[in-house]
Amino acid sequence: GTSDRFNFASESVTGNTTLTAELTSFTGTNYSAFAGVMLRNSSAAGDLFVDLGYAPGWGAWMQWRSAVNGSVSNTGALTVTTPSSTHPLWLKLVQSGSTFTGYKSADGVTWTSVGSTTVGLNANALAGLAVTSE
């Protein structure tokens, strides 16, 4: 949609950024519940963002909003196995200028591309972990 609802633990970053996280459990059962890494301009509900994460109904996927209060686009759905301690899902979101590329991995060493997009985030952005049960 055009307005976000989620919890976001973040800090300010400047310039090119790489976020990496290991997801070792996921108990959300809602089709669109989500846990992942995110870069965004601000905490405003309709601001620009790019994220990469896991949702039970989608698997590993990347989504973004490239216009304030605009629609969300996505790509991915590359895994449907629920992350666990025996089957972790590693996520890596790489920003190079306005290009963002998402990767997934089972071991944190060998990476598979989930997708890539271009979004004009500010030079100073928020980076962190995003979760929702919706």
Mean pLDDT value across residues 39-46: 92
| Whether pLDDT at 5 is above 80 | no
Interval 56-100: pLDDT, tens: 878 888 999 999 999 999 987 666 678 888 889 999 999 999 999
Q: Which residue has the higher pLDDT, 81 or 2?
A: 81
What share of the chain in percent tops pLDDT 90? 68
Question: Do residues 39 and 51 touch, judged by C-beta distance below 8 A?
Answer: yes
| Whether pLDDT at 115 is above 90 | yes
What share of the chain in percent tops pLDDT 70? 94
Structure tokens of 70? 């605009």
| Whether pLDDT at 51 is above 90 | yes
Q: How far apart are the first and last CA of the chain?
A: 13
pLDDT band at 27 (very low <50, low <70, confident <90, very high): confident
| Whether pLDDT at 19 is above 70 | yes
Report the predicted TM-score, pTM, of the whole model to 2 decimal places.
0.91
Question: Do residues 118 and 92 touch, judged by C-beta distance below 8 A?
Answer: no
Strand partners, 39: 50, 127
